[in-house]
Structures are given as C-alpha cells and as structure tokens.
Amino acid sequence: MKTSFQRFIEKFVEGLLFLSGTITSFAVILIVLFLFKEGWGLFNETPVEKGSVIALNKSNPVQELTAQQIKNIFDRKITNWKEVGGNKDSIIVFSVNDISNYYSDAELGDSLQFVPQRISELMGKKTGIIAFFPTEYISKNFQGRILAMKKVTLTGFIKDKEWFPTAQPAAQLGILPLILGTLWVSLVAILIALPFGLATAVYIAEIADARVGKILKPVIELLAGIPSVVYGFFGLIVIVPLVQKTFNLPVGETGLSGSLVLAIMALPTIITISEDAIRNTPRAMKEASLALGATHWQTIYKVIVPYSISGISAATILGIGRAMGETMAVLMVTGNAAIIPHSILVPMRTIPATIAAELGESAHGGLHYKALFALGCVLFVMTLVINLTVDLISARRKYSK
C-alpha cells in the first residue's frame, strides 16, 4: 500500500505538471493576443505618419485620397486634379522644404517664425496645391483644408502590391509581394525536403545496417543544432553562385537559393520525426505482410508508410513551420526585393525576413511598427492554415484506408 507521504508526492508532482501546462498554455495565448492587439491597431490608422498632414486649397472638391493616389501625385504620375475626381486644374506639389521657392528669407523670419503664416497664405492663393508639412506649421487662421485620408484596410493591406512603410508623405502598406515570396520560398523548400527526408528516414529505419543507422542518425540530428546564420553563410558562398551559374542569372540571390537553404535546414526535423514514426510500426504488421507474400519494398510503401502517416504529417508540419518562420538564412540569400515574384528564379522577400530587417528601425507604436506586427499576424494565420490543411489531408487519407 502507498503511504500518505507517497500519495502526497504524487499529488505534488501532478500539481506541478498541471501548473506547468497551464502556465505554458496561458503564455502562448497571451503572446497570440498581444500579437493581434498590436497588429490590429494598424487598421485604425491613416497612411500618413502622426505629426504630419496633407492639405489642399479650400476650393478643391477632392475630399479623400488613397495612399497610392498620394504617392502617384507626389511622384508626378498624376498631374491634374481631374484624374482623381477634382476640377481640371494642374496639381502643384508642395512640401515645407519648398517654402524658399515662394518666399524670401526676410518673409520667413530670422528663426522661421513666419513659416506657418506663409504656408497658410500659399494654401489660399494656389487652387491646385497639395501640401505636406508638419502639424506644428498649421496657423490659427489656416486658409487651407486638411485632406481626409482613407484608413488602412485589411483588404488593401493584403492586396496592394507595394511595400514601402517609410514612404513620405503616405506609407505604402501592400504585403502581397511578401505573402507570395513567403509561399514561393517555403513551399518549394518543402517540395524539395519532404521526398529526400522521407526517403532518408525509410532508409535509416528499414534498409540501412544497424551500424550505419547509428552513425547517420546522430549526424543528421547534429545538423539541427547548426545556427541559421551559418546556413546563411553557406548559402551565400556555395548555393548563390551555383544557382547563378546554373541558370545563367544576373544575380544568384533568388527564391530558389532561399528554398534550397531552407530545404537543408528542414531535413533534420523531417528525417528524425519520420524515422521515429516508421520505427513505431508494430512488428506483427510487418511480419503479417511478409507472410502473405509481399516483398520488403511492398511492405514499406503499402504497410509501414501508411501506418506512419500521422508521424510523417507531423514532420511535414514542423518542416513547413521551420521554413515559413526562418529569418536570417533567408534574409541573406533571397535578394530581399519586395516585388511580385513571377518565378522562383527572381529575388524576393519573405515576411519573417521583413520583420527581422525592419523591426529594429521602426518607432515604437508608430505606423511602421504596427504594420510589422500585422505582418506577424498574417504569417501566423498562413502557417496555421497550411498546417491544418496538411493535417486534414493526412487524416482523410488515414481514414480512407
């Protein structure tokens, strides 16, 4: 019989395990909530950074503009107000640095104390003007009209094609190139890694000599402990020149280079978990298959692999997670071009690489900062959807058999 002390120890250990699981689960939930709280704040913002305004002449009928329209106006791609629903009038682009083109130093004041009044005057005189300046230069009797800007929307955030969050006067927050870059690099990496990983796992578990398996498995597991920056250096020195030379490209920093590096990084996870799943196939099932006349290879692909499909699915999910979440190695070899990729052989940028490269440069609580957290939310949802899809497909295959 158990003594009271033994029962106390068991209850105490049970309580510790429960507490550990509860704290871990609570911490994960808090992290996800924090991520979405910070990211969702982006959609209450306009693409003009706080502390600055865009103003028009009061007679201008245009009431609202998008960030893309603002960019095209300041890039001189739109030169007449008629193109954005206004009167037929030439657009005059003005920023505070242009004030000396209209007024002398004496009119602006020794310490620029008259700049607000001069900007107000200019806004009243020029009917076609669009001005971008700090809010501190808005005078009491301001003769212009502050332009209303459309807030950042979830649809626009996902569908727009330009990512330039520090652009002035209006940030360009389109993440479609980043989403496509992430999917291209990650899915090609898995398509490369999964067949090689599964084949290696089958070889170690079912075909290789016991001594060979004892050498191969520790070596493969050792690969998982190599820092990602080392993989990045390897990719930069070996894979990038190889891809450039093989496909005769102007640069070797492409999505394919990133996919090859990620495939190598995902292999240890896929091989280790798949091999463990294959080894857990009951010996009785293997012997029954062989007793019915099946060859060793027939037993592998008709009995062992289908039985191990749940473990192989877990390996695939973890491999996808490793590929989609990797930052440093991808940052070093993909070229980091935030453009719509039409081929795996062009430079591209992924979401994790963007967050890693830009978060340190963004002002806490600013528009850029919130946009990067929103990117994190998108990456979380993408990974979750892909993992659930893989799990669902694997479950259907399992039950259909």
257-285 confidence digits (pLDDT tens): 999 999 999 999 899 889 988 888 888 88
pLDDT at res. 328: 85
The pLDDT of residue 319: 84
pLDDT score at 355: 93
Query: CA angle, 272 as apex, 268 and 275 as ends, to 5°?
Result: 140
pLDDT at residue number 118: 92
Left, alpha or beta for 85 (phi > 0: left; psi -120 to 50: alpha)? left
pLDDT at 322: 80
> What does the pLDDT read at residue 1?
55
CA–CA gap between residue 279 and residue 213 (Å, rounded) = 12
pLDDT at site 309 = 84
Q: What percent of the chain has pLDDT over 70?
A: 97
Per-residue pLDDT, 3: 76
Give the chain's residues under pLDDT 70.
Answer: 1-2, 393-401
* Both tokens assigned to 8: 């106390």
Instruction: For residue 245, give the H/E element and its range.
Output: helix 240-246
What residues contact 232, with CB distance under 8 A and at least 6 apart?
261, 328, 329, 330, 331, 332, 333
Beta strands in 154-259 (DSSP E): 163-164, 172-173
232/258 Cα distance (integer angstroms):
9
Query: Beta-carbon neighbour count of residue 131 at 10 Å?
Result: 24
**Residue 167 and residue 54: Cα distance in Å, rounded?**
14
Name, in order, each residue with C-beta under 8 angstroms of 305's C-beta and a sequence gap of 6 or more. 198, 202, 278, 312
Strand residue runs (E) in 36-89: 52-57, 64-65
The CA distance from 156 to 172, in Å, is 10
Per-residue pLDDT, 259? 94
Inter-CA distances, 391 with 32, 95, 101, 195, 272, Å: 21, 54, 64, 18, 19
